[in-house]
Structure 1
Amino acid sequence: MVDVATLVEQAREGRPRAVARLITLVENAAPELREVMAALMPYTGQAYTVGLTGSPGVGKSTSTSALVSAYRRLGKRVGVLAVDPSSPFSGGALLGDRVRMQDHATDPEVFIRSMATRGHLGGLSWAAPQALRVLDGAGCDVILVETVGVGQSEVEIAAQADTTVVLLAPGMGDGIQAAKAGILEIGDLFVVNKADRDGADATARELNHMLGLGEARQPGDWRPPIVKTVAARGEGVDEVVEALEKHRAWLAETGELAARRRRRAAEEVEAITLAALRARIGDLRGDRHLHALAERVAVGELDPYAAADQLIAELTG
């Protein structure tokens, strides 16, 4: 029997074991999940969520670790949600981000959680929204979300983060990749990492040119800055934090922060609703009515849309 109230209280005190237990309940879609979300709700809405995305090899984990150090120097409690791809064969995941962030493993004010995608596309785990709520409710001031790095299908992070950071690196063709993948539209801040390599200035110029070709901005609109870093040495990381804080202030001043969080909440409610409906449809697979509808569709007596309408009427009636 899980004592949710005690777990939430311990998580609020910053106990990592309690936070880990709560996120495990989320990942497993445990029966206590509704109680967990209800108990956490009064404590949420305070954390600033930053998403980091980019192609494999650009240094997302190294940059995330450097940002953790920078925010800890500012006295912030930091949560990290690092999403790793799952094997399509075994379902397992390396969860190697924990290995790269060992410098913070003993810091009680830093909580790092690796999550497997479990086949979910978009660069995030399906459980990410609820896991973010756990970290928010546990008192994290800043939550860093690192996507799997799948290249062209990880734009989902823009729907989950207050600010989205897109990382690129010279010599990897990331400029063209960014334009092709629609990454330009989701980035609030662009970071050219590994800037000590040849081509870093050219990558930044190319990116700046492509941003200039984008849709016309109105006065007061946010223009994503471009920051060059060498995350492995901590160079440029303070400038990234400064740019993040400027964007956070702009979000608050313009009302965009509240608007983004409303959209996030709407998508989360929709996802939960659809999951519940799918479960109910699954329960109907052995139902005679569904089989009768399927038979009529198969023999051409009923079109599939009309059959679906009848099924929806039964589900919602």
Structure 2
Amino acid sequence: MSELLDRAIKGDELSIARLLTKIEYVDPQGLIALEELSKRAGKAFTIGITGIPGAGKSTIIGALIEEYLKRGHKVGVVMIDPSSPFTKGSFMGNRIRMQEKTMLDNVFIRSLASRGHLGGVSAEALMLIEALDGLGFDRIIVETVGAGQTDTEIVSSVHSIAVLTVPGTGDEIQALKAGIMEIGDFYVINKADRPEAEASYISIKFAIDSAEINFRDGWKPLVLKTIATKGEGIKELVDTFEEHRSFLESKGIFSKRILERKSKMIELIVRREIEQLLQKSMEERKEELIKLPLMNAVYSLRAELLKKMNK
């Protein structure tokens, strides 16, 4: 394991892939490696890309990769695909869309299934972010499932958040709703060559200017236009990301956000283990429990769960 970790730290892509697989599937050796990488982590600037399906998140990320490479950065990408509610598997469409970017030097892209996690970011995703940070990727981009208002958990996972919307489909209204409206540091109108782009810009700008909420960290969100397929507006978007990074560092929030990510990672790992124990107990005792009075069944199952956790 030590040899694999050393090769991964030196940048060997096959070793990085093997190491991340061990971490993602919570292999004991993977957890040991993650602990070592966590000691090296804490320097990467992390960017969350969220928004409804079809907003062009993958295209934007591809353009961001190229711009960051031009600026001499090492880019890690974690792309979360929606998973089947039955098998927890995923088609991994993002992996197909980003295939050409995986061939670039100083870029590592990892797709994983959400495994039914509705908060936008799972324990596995946070573990991979932490690992990529420890492996020396200084710009890490995270694409969430894109389920709109359910993607609010990304707040505790990254430094900057860009919410993507598309003009002319009614999607800009999504940005005006509670939850998603309160998490964005940037609202990006992609496919801005559409005739409705200016109306979308005005709507979102008005929503921000008139919002009676406290924007996170005291940063007033910016509204930008891009045409990702043509690379238009991407340089300006990266400039504003870097401006936000400097703002967070000046306020002492940059390092605080990394601690929040670590805290959330610990919480989600524990939650997952508890859920697995609960699911197993339910499957084993379902027939027995449904015959009991409701609260008796609850207390009985809770007692059993606590007993298993204390072993």
For the superposition of Structure 1 and Structure 2, which TM-score range results when normalised by the shorter chain?
A: 0.7 to 0.9
| Identical columns (%) | 38
1:309 Cα deviation (Å)? 6.3
Match of 1:58 among 33, 44, 55: 55
Cα offset, 1:216, TM superposition: 5.4
- SS of match in other structure, 1:41: helix
TM-score, structure 1 normalization:
0.86
Q: How much has 1:179 moved relative to structure 2? A: 2.3
Which residue pairs with 1:239 in the alignment? 236
What per-residue deviation string (whole Å, max 9, x for no partner) do you get for residues 170-219 of structure 1?
A: 0121222122352110101111111111111110110011112223559x
Q: Which of 285, 292, 301 is the equivalent residue of 1:298?
A: 292
Verify the 8 A CA contact 1:117 1:126 in the aligned structure 2: no
Report the alpha carbon displacement of residue 36 of structure 1 after superposing the two structures with TM: 1.5
- In the TM superposition, what whole-angstrom CA distance separates every residue of 1:265-295 from its partner, at most 9, and x where no partner exists? 22222222333444555676799xx99x969
- Return 46-55 or 249-258, whichever deviates more: 249-258
TM-superposed deviation, 1:108 = 2.2
Q: How does 1:205-284 map to 2 (within 5 A)?
A: 205-215=202-212, 221-278=218-275
Q: For structure 1, which runs of at least 5 residues remain unmatched after alignment?
A: none
SS in 2 for 1:39: helix
Counterpart of 1:201, as a letter, is E
Aligned to 1:34: 31
* Cα separation, partners in 2 of 1:148 and 1:294, compared to 1, 3 Å: closer
Cα gap change, 1:228 to 1:280, in 2 (>3 Å): closer
C-alpha separation between the residues in 2 aligned to 1:37 and 1:202?
Answer: 46
Give aligned pairs, total: 309
Change (3 A) 1:304 1:142: same
Deviations 1:117-151 (Å, cap 9, x if unpaired)?
Answer: 22222233441010111211111010111112223
CA distance in 2, matches of 1:130, 1:58: 26
What is the distance in 2 between the residues matched to 1:57 and 1:11?
34
Q: Secondary structure at the match of 2:73?
A: coil
Residue 166 (1) aligns with residue 163 (2): yes
Alpha-carbon offset, residue 263 of structure 1: 2.3
Q: Which has the higher Rg, Structure 1 or Structure 2?
A: 1
1:157 to 138, 154, 157: 154
1:203 and 1:286 map into 2 onto residues whose CA distance is: 49
Hey, what's the Cα distance between the residues in 2 that align with 1:286 and 1:198?
55
| Residue range with higher mean Cα deviation, 122-131 or 221-230 | 122-131
2:104 aligned with 1:110? no
Residue 17 of structure 2 is matched in structure 1 by 20
| Deviations, residues 95-124 of structure 1 (Å, cap 9, x unaligned) | 222332244232121111111122222233
2:116 aligned with 1:119: yes
* SS of corresponding position for 2:116: coil
The CA deviation string for residues 46-101 of structure 1, in whole angstroms up to 9 with x for no partner, is: 11110100111111000000000000000101011111112345544232223322
Q: Alpha carbons of 1:254 and 1:267: their partners in 2 closer, same or farther (altered >3 Å)?
A: same
What's the secondary structure of 1:154's corresponding residue? helix
Partner of 1:141: 138
Which letter does structure 1 place at the counterpart of 2:25?
N
CA contact (8 A) 1:135 1:143 kept: yes
User: Structure 2: where are the runs of 5+ without partners?
Assistant: none
Establish whether residue 100 from structure 1 lines up as the match of residue 100 from structure 2: no
Alpha-carbon contact 1:8-1:138 (below 8 Å) kept: no
Q: Is the 8 A contact 2:161 2:185 kept in 1?
A: yes
- Say which is worse superposed, 234-243 or 263-272, in terms of deviation: 263-272
**Cα distance change of structure 1 residues 298 and 76 upon mapping to structure 2, 3 Å threshold:** same
Tell me the equivalent position of 1:46: 43
**Greater alpha carbon shift after TM alignment, 46-55 vs 28-37:** 28-37
CA separation of 1:303/1:185 partners in 2, compared to 1, >3 Å: closer, same or farther?
same
Paired AA for residue 62 in structure 2: S
1:162 is displaced (CA, Å) by: 1.0
Verify the 8 A CA contact 2:59 2:229 in the aligned structure 1.
Answer: yes
The residue type paired with residue 159 of structure 1 is: S
Per mean C-alpha deviation after superposition, the further-off stretch among 208-217 and 90-99 is: 90-99
Alpha-carbon separation, structure 1, partners of 2:269 and 2:29: 15
What is the one-letter code of the residue matched to 1:298? L
Query: Which amino acid in structure 2 is aligned with residue 129 of structure 1?
Result: L
Alignment check: 8 A CA contact 1:83 1:148 kept: yes
Q: Give the secondary structure class of the aligned counterpart of 1:50.
A: strand
**Aligned residues of 1:22 and 1:134 also touching (Cα < 8 A):** no
